[in-house]
Amino acid sequence: MLADLRDTAPLVQCITNVVVSNFTANVLLALGASPAMVDIPGEARQFAPVASGLLVNLGTPTGSQRDAMLEASEAAADAGTPWVLDPVAVGFLSIRTGTAKLLVTRRPTIIRGNASEIIALAGAGEGGRGVDSLDEPAAALEAARLLASLHGSVVAVSGAVDAIVAPGDAVIRVANGTPLLTRVTGGGCALGAVMAAFAALTPDALLAATAATGIYTQAAESAAATAAGPGTFAPLFLDALAAITPDDVVRGLNLSAGA
Amino acid sequence: MLADLRDTAPLVQCITNVVVSNFTANVLLALGASPAMVDIPGEARQFAPVASGLLVNLGTPTGSQRDAMLEASEAAADAGTPWVLDPVAVGFLSIRTGTAKLLVTRRPTIIRGNASEIIALAGAGEGGRGVDSLDEPAAALEAARLLASLHGSVVAVSGAVDAIVAPGDAVIRVANGTPLLTRVTGGGCALGAVMAAFAALTPDALLAATAATGIYTQAAESAAATAAGPGTFAPLFLDALAAITPDDVVRGLNLSAGA
Amino acid sequence: MLADLRDTAPLVQCITNVVVSNFTANVLLALGASPAMVDIPGEARQFAPVASGLLVNLGTPTGSQRDAMLEASEAAADAGTPWVLDPVAVGFLSIRTGTAKLLVTRRPTIIRGNASEIIALAGAGEGGRGVDSLDEPAAALEAARLLASLHGSVVAVSGAVDAIVAPGDAVIRVANGTPLLTRVTGGGCALGAVMAAFAALTPDALLAATAATGIYTQAAESAAATAAGPGTFAPLFLDALAAITPDDVVRGLNLSAGA
């Protein structure tokens, strides 16, 4: 799928937060996809049908962006554009939580979040403090299964081990990665954009989310091996995303499947 | 002109997209100019007359930014502040295209874009997909000439070879650069800000656009020589912008003039 | 205090400008604090009472952000959340200046700015051109004392030597740092966020501002020792913030106290 992505350069529309928009675009470019940060009302609706994939990330949801999210997700659903919902910091914060609960009813292709966010989106918890997760990935599995069966979405729960849950209860776990991804802002958010890029390549959303996670976390491992800290890690990670080969991915993947 | 820029540190007002605002400010600082991201209505109008140059970039044009662009370009024109229009992704996207078509009638000092954007702004095409260009620089030359003669602007078309067209049909081509500039978000957008900085130093807009392009692309070449990928390229490029000397520029410039 | 910060990871709500939001979040993460960029009306008010500290930075103050600043600062004051005001580029620009003059009456825990900004906020000058300071730190000391006594705030004036003024006229000067901090956008803005993180650890705001300044500027010195320019400086600075130890800080601190 990585060769396929580089051949086709899927066009990923990103409606994402201002903190990570630059990093997200650079992650997509490094990997070989094509970012399009089209996030204003009017244009968001117009673009979603021609995009290869769409990311909706709730990190800094201004009124203008919330309008753009609602119209883009609707247009994506109508046009069959796969889309990813990242419910950043939902739970305690009421405005984004309301928006996320509306968006999720539009059956995102993939939902991506940390344990606290997935639990809160499923209505089972208060969420974390800001973007940090206070809940264990294991505790989030039940919430992920609920969301997957209610909305037909694949649900990816990030953590030391990432768990990816499909409707019907298949679970894939990816144990690659590095704690440095949590020391760079956007480490999780940009993965959502990569999932949208892979979802453009296959109708199998479980495969798309797993491929995205495996490639992303292994590039991160490779960068962490030479980084001296979180500052030098970020550019080395982008280099690794550009350099990683399908063979590297197969060789290093630490994956297990279960129920 | 580079020595002049470092002596005078022109103050460049940037109304630009959220994805590249950080990189753009760092490019200006590295080179020796002084960025001022004054982009809210009310202040944008107030600042343009005291700025040395103005950049208007349509990458993520919220309603608030569109108002700021309209008032700043008007105030710049009235005060004689040189300004650069970068019509990012115009063509298919209707809101920014309408804004760009209005802005261009205010006779920007320089218009900077890729081939698809220049063709779309001239009314001759549908534009690219997002920020990518699908048209050849050669095909954009006619559109650039049309814009230059209609609006009295210098028109810079980016590509593997950059073409800079003046009213009256002089064309300068700069063949410096590196594909890595297209693997970092803002590689083109930040060049628009650098053009605004150089336009502050001379009334000859063709000279300003050419100097900006030559210095920018040669710093990029120098960074590419040691970068291991797009991630490490970006900080090395900023270092190169800070380190490049007028002698370096003259020595490395790959320039041709024609009609 | 550095060990304390890393143990407790204070949650710093940042309402800051789009240009530096990524760098600011990465500075907090590198140091060991936890950033939360909650800056929309409705959520800003809701979050301030649960945040450990709050930063209000006026760099790109859209209407939405100005509303968020006003409600968050009120909620922080009511809840006892310490907060930092960074009056970026106030003076000439009328909208942010009006907002800053209203915000300062709510008695920020710490006010942080360059000499021009502090003078303008005190009503004694026209401010600088954009974010640059044209006034000497010494000339700003009187303005800082006025603000400190009027509003009960600690006032930190950045410059080659940083001066930190407490109500009652104690002054601490920190002579650490590097000019490279002025060649990276957000070099000052991110320090405001670090001050908010330290203000969460102690009710002594003079101590908090001094600790933040000392640690921040020494990490910068350490990064400058190996950086080849402003581009490579930024990631090395983040690495240094993650690596610096309490012993390093005590050993390198160039501090003097006076009146």
Q: Would you say how long chain A is, in residues?
A: 259
The predicted structure's pLDDT at residue B35: 98
Q: Which two tokens stand for residue B140?
A: 């954009």
Least confident of A132-146, B91-105, C235-249: A132-146
B2-258 carries CATH number 3.40.1190.20: yes
CB contact under 8 A, A230 and C26: yes
pLDDT of residue B124 exceeding 90: no
CB contact under 8 A, C95 and B42: yes
Mean confidence (pLDDT) of chain B = 94
pLDDT of residue B128 exceeding 90: no
The predicted structure's pLDDT at residue A139: 75
* Percent of chain B topping pLDDT 90: 92
Tell me the average pLDDT across A243-247. 97
Whether B37 contacts B12, CB under 8 Å? no
Q: Phi and psi (nearest 5°) for C74?
A: -65, -45
Q: DSSP assignment of C52-106, as one string?
A: SEEEEE-SS--HHHHHHHHHHHHHHHHHT--EEEE-TTBTTBHHHHHHHHHHHTT
CB contact under 8 A, C29 and A95: no
pLDDT of residue C132 exceeding 60: no
Among B19, B69, B184, the strongest candidate for a mutation testing the A interface, having the largest count of A CBs within 10 A, is: B19
The predicted structure's pLDDT at residue A169: 80
Nearest residue on chain B to C23, alpha-carbon basis: B22
Nearest by CB to residue A94, choosing from C13, C34, C42, is C42
Whether A90 contacts A117, CB under 8 Å? yes
Nearest by CB to residue A19, choosing from C11, C37, C237, is C37
pLDDT band at C153 (very low <50, low <70, confident <90, very high): very high
Q: Phi and psi (nearest 5°) for A231?
A: -70, -50
The predicted structure's pLDDT at residue A91: 95
Distance from CA of B244 to the nearest CA of C (A): 11
Nearest by CB to residue C30, choosing from A23, A63, A183, is A183
CB contact under 8 A, C11 and A89: no
pLDDT tens, position by position, B154-209: 999 999 999 999 999 799 999 999 999 999 999 999 999 999 999 999 999 999 99
Helix boundaries (H) for chain C:
2-8, 21-31, 43-47, 63-79, 94-104, 115-121, 137-151, 189-199, 205-224, 230-243, 246-252
Strand arrangement of the beta sheet that strand B110-114 belongs to: B34-36, B11-15, B53-57, B83-86, B110-114, B154-158, B162-165, B171-174, B255-258
Whether C31 contacts C197, CB under 8 Å? yes
CB contact under 8 A, A40 and B62: yes
The 10 Å Cβ neighbour count of residue B259 is: 8
> How many Å apart are CA B168 and CA B155, to the nearest integer?
12
pLDDT band at A137 (very low <50, low <70, confident <90, very high): low
pLDDT of residue C248 exceeding 60: yes
What is the CA angle C192-C131-C115, rounded to 5?
70
pLDDT of residue A133 exceeding 80: no
> How many Å apart are CA A145 and CA A54, to the nearest integer?
23
Three-state DSSP string of chain A: CHHHHHHHCCEEEEECCCCCHHHHHHHHHHHCCEEECCCCCCHHHHHCCCCCEEEEECCCCCHHHHHHHHHHHHHHHHHCCCEEEECCCECCEHHHHHHHHHHHCCCCCEEEEEHHHHHHHCCCCCCCCCCCCCCCHHHHHHHHHHHHHHHCCEEEEECCCEEEECCCCCEEEECCCCHHHHCCCCCCHHHHHHHHHHHCCCCCHHHHHHHHHHHHHHHHHHHHCCCCCHHHHHHHHHHHHHHCCHHHHHHHCCEEEEC
Distance from CA of A165 to the nearest CA of B (A): 32
The predicted structure's pLDDT at residue B258: 83
Distance from CA of C30 to the nearest CA of A (A): 6
Going C8 to C13 to C18 to C19, the CA torsion angle's sign is: negative
pLDDT tens, position by position, A82-93: 999 999 999 999
> How many Å apart are CA B158 and CA B244, to the nearest integer?
21
> How many Å apart are CA C79 and CA C38, to the nearest integer?
17
The predicted structure's pLDDT at residue B133: 57
Q: Determine whether the annotation assigns residue C69 to a binding site.
A: no
Distance from CA of C247 to the nearest CA of A (A): 19
Mean confidence (pLDDT) of chain C = 94
Residue with tokens 């640059």: C132
pLDDT band at B83 (very low <50, low <70, confident <90, very high): very high
Q: Determine whether the annotation assigns residue A112 to a binding site.
A: yes
| A97 contacts in chain C (CB < 8 Å) | none
pLDDT of residue C107 exceeding 80: yes
Nearest residue on chain C to B37, alpha-carbon basis: C60
pLDDT band at A27 (very low <50, low <70, confident <90, very high): very high
> How many Å apart are CA A67 and CA A42, to the nearest integer?
9
Whether B72 contacts B47, CB under 8 Å? yes
The predicted structure's pLDDT at residue B139: 75
Q: Which two tokens stand for residue C179?
A: 């000019």
pLDDT tens, position by position, A197-225: 999 999 999 999 999 999 999 999 999 99
pLDDT of residue C133 exceeding 70: no
Tell me the average pLDDT across A175-195. 97
Tell me the average pLDDT across B25-36. 98
Q: Which two tokens stand for residue A218?
A: 């292994």
pLDDT tens, position by position, C176-193: 999 999 999 999 999 999
The predicted structure's pLDDT at residue C243: 98
Nearest residue on chain A to B232, alpha-carbon basis: A235
Nearest by CB to residue B239, choosing from C19, C89, C231, is C231
Q: Determine whether the annotation assigns residue A158 to a binding site.
A: yes
pLDDT tens, position by position, B229-240: 999 999 999 999
Distance of CA A105 to the CA centre of its chain: 18
> How many Å apart are CA A60 and CA C35, to the nearest integer?
13
Tell me the average pLDDT across C25-49. 98
The predicted structure's pLDDT at residue C134: 53
Q: Determine whether the annotation assigns residue A37 to a binding site.
A: yes
Least confident of B117-126, B141-150, C53-62: B117-126
Tell me the average pLDDT across B59-69. 98
The predicted structure's pLDDT at residue B136: 59
pTM above 0.90, yes or no: yes
Burial environment of residue B148 by CB neighbours within 10 A (0 to 12, 13 to 18, 19 or more)? buried
pLDDT of residue B143 exceeding 70: yes
Beta-carbon contacts of A257 under 8 Å, excluding residues fewer than 6 positions away, are A170, A171, A172, A173
DSSP B97: H
The residue extents of the domains of chain A are 2-258
| C34 contacts in chain A (CB < 8 Å) | 129-132
Smallest Cα–Cα separation from A142: which of A162, A119, A174? Answer: A119
> How many Å apart are CA C181 and CA B54, to the nearest integer?
25
The 10 Å Cβ neighbour count of residue C251 is: 9
